[in-house]
C-alpha cells in the first residue's frame, strides 16, 4: 500500500489531490494548519471508503521545528505533495521583511526542508516529490512580486532536487493556471478576473480535478523527473 502526504490538504486543490490519490489506492496523510474541522471531515470520508486509509496532521510550515516534527512522525512515504501556499498582493513599495518571510517561508522554505527531512524515508520506497508551482513562476502576475518570486523558487527547487535526489527519488511539478479564485476575494477585482479569463485559450477556469489528475499521473510515472507540467487551459499561449 502506497502512502502520500499532501500539505495544505484539507480543502480546495489539496483536498482534491488527497481524494484523487486515495481513489487510486493510496493511503493519505492530510496535513493542515488551521483547517482542522475540514481535515477531520475529509479523513472521515476517506476512512469510510477504506478503513485506516487516512490520517491528519497539524503543522505550521513556516516553523522549522514543526516541519521536523511532522516529518519525523512519518514512517513510510511514497509521495510528498508540496501544495500548501500563501497568495496575496504585495505592491513592491509596501513589501517589508515580515511580508517577505510570510510568503517565502511557506512557499519555498517549507517545501525545501520538508523534502530534505523526508529524503531518507522517500529513498526507501523510491518515492517522489511533487511540487505545486504556478504558471506565474515564469511570467509574473502584476502586483504579486513576492508570490511570483516564491513560485520561481519552487520551480527551480523541483529541477535542482530532481538532480540531487536521483536516482532514488523523482521530483516533478504541476503548474496550475487559473483554477480556483482566492478565498480572500479582495485579492482580485471582477475586472481582473475577467481579464484573466479572456486570456485563457480554452475560455474557462480549470478545476481542482485537472490538477489532481496530473499529480496522480506524475506520481505513478516511473521515468519522468525534473519536469513541470503546466495545467492552464492554454493561458500561457496568451501571456
Ligand atoms: N487556486 C488557484 O487557482 C491556483 C493557481 C495557481 C497555483 N496554485 C497553487 O496550487 C496550490 C493550491 O492552491 P489553493 O488555492 O488550493 O491553495 P490555498 O487554498 O491558498 O492554500 C492551501 C492551504 O495551504 C495551507 N497553508 C498556508 N500557509 C500555511 C503555513 N504557513 N503552514 C501550513 N499550511 C499553510 C492552508 O492550510 P489551512 O487551511 O489548514 O490553514 C491552506 O488551506 C498552491 O500551491 C497554489 O499556489 C493555485
Question: What integer pLDDT is reported at residue 183 of this predicted model?
Answer: 83
Residue 186 clears pLDDT 70, i.e. is over it:
no
Question: What integer pLDDT is reported at residue 192 of this predicted model?
Answer: 83
Clarify whether 32 is annotated catalytic: no
Cell 523558487 locates to 153
Do you find a cis peptide bond into 167, omega within 30 degrees of 0? yes
Atom of ligand 1 nearest to the CA of 31: 40
Q: Tell me if 56 CB under 6 Å of ligand 1.
A: no
Three-state DSSP string of 120-134:
HHHHHCCCEEEEECC
Domains of the chain: 3-238 (3.40.50.720)
Give which of 88, 112, 129 is closest to 6, Cα–Cα.
129
Question: What integer pLDDT is reported at residue 85 of this predicted model?
Answer: 98
* 33 torsion bin: left (phi>0), alpha (psi -120 to 50), beta (else): alpha
pLDDT band, very low/low/confident/very high, at 190 (cuts 50, 70, 90): confident
237 three-state secondary structure: helix
Task: Name residue 30's beta-bridge partners.
Answer: 6, 56
Q: Tell me if 60 CB under 6 Å of ligand 1.
A: yes
Q: Tell me if 62 CB under 6 Å of ligand 1.
A: yes
Q: Tell me if 101 CB under 6 Å of ligand 1.
A: no
Residue 77 clears pLDDT 80, i.e. is over it:
yes
Question: CA 59 to CA 186: how far, in whole Å?
Answer: 27
For 121-172, write each residue's pLDDT tens digit: 999 999 999 999 999 999 999 999 999 999 999 999 999 999 999 999 999 9
Q: Provide the b/e sequence for 55-66 (b: ≥16 CB within 10 Å).
A: bbbbbebbeeee
pTM higher than 0.95: yes
Q: What is the 219 CA–ligand 1 centroid distance (Å)?
A: 20
Residue 23 clears pLDDT 90, i.e. is over it:
yes
Strand 128-132 to 79-82 pairing:
parallel
Residue 196 clears pLDDT 90, i.e. is over it:
no
Question: What integer pLDDT is reported at residue 187 of this predicted model?
Answer: 65
Atom of ligand 1 nearest to the CA of 84: 24
Q: What is the 62 CA–ligand 1 centroid distance (Å)?
A: 13
Q: Tell me if 168 CB under 6 Å of ligand 1.
A: no
81 close to 132: Cβ distance less than 8 angstroms: yes
191 vs 172: which has the higher pLDDT: 172
Q: Which mutation among 6, 13, 103, 112 tests ligand 1's pocket best, with the greatest number of atoms within 8 A of CB?
A: 13
Amino acid at each position: 500500500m502506497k502512502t502520500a502526504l499532501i500539505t495544505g490538504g484539507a480543502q480546495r486543490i489539496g483536498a482534491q489531490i488527497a481524494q484523487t490519490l486515495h481513489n487510486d489506492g493510496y493511503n493519505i496523510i492530510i496535513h493542515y494548519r488551521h483547517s482542522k474541522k475540514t481535515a477531520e471531515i475529509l479523513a472521515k470520508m476517506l476512512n469510510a471508503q477504506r478503513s485506516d486509509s487516512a490520517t491528519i496532521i497539524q503543522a505550521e510550515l513556516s516553523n522549522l521545528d514543526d516541519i521536523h516534527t511532522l516529518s519525523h512522525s512519518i514512517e513510510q512515504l511514497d509521495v510528498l505533495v508540496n501544495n500548501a501556499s500563501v497568495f496575496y498582493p504585495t505592491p513592491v513599495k509596501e513589501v517589508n521583511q515580515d511580508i517577505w518571510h510570510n510568503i517565502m517561508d511557506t512557499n519555498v522554505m517549507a517545501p525545501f526542508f520538508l523534502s530534505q527531512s523526508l529524503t531518507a524515508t522517500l529513498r526507501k520506497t523510491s518515492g517522489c516529490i511533487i511540487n505545486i508551482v504556478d504558471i506565474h513562476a515564469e511570467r509574473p502576475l502584476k502586483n504579486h512580486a513576492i508570490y511570483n518570486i516564491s513560485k520561481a523558487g519552487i520551480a527551480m527547487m523541483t529541477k535542482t532536487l530532481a538532480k540531487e535526489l536521483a536516482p532514488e527519488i523523482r521530483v516533478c511539478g504541476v503548474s496550475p493556471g487559473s483554477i480556483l479564485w482566492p478565498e480572500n476575494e479582495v485579492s482580485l477585482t471582477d475586472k481582473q478576473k475577467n481579464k484573466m479569463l479572456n486570456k485563457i485559450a480554452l475560455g474557462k477556469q480549470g478545476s481542482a480535478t485537472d490538477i489532481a489528475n496530473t499529480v496522480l499521473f506524475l506520481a505513478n510515472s516511473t521515468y519522468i523527473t525534473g519536469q513541470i507540467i503546466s495545467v492552464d487551459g492554454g493561458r500561457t499561449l496568451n501571456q
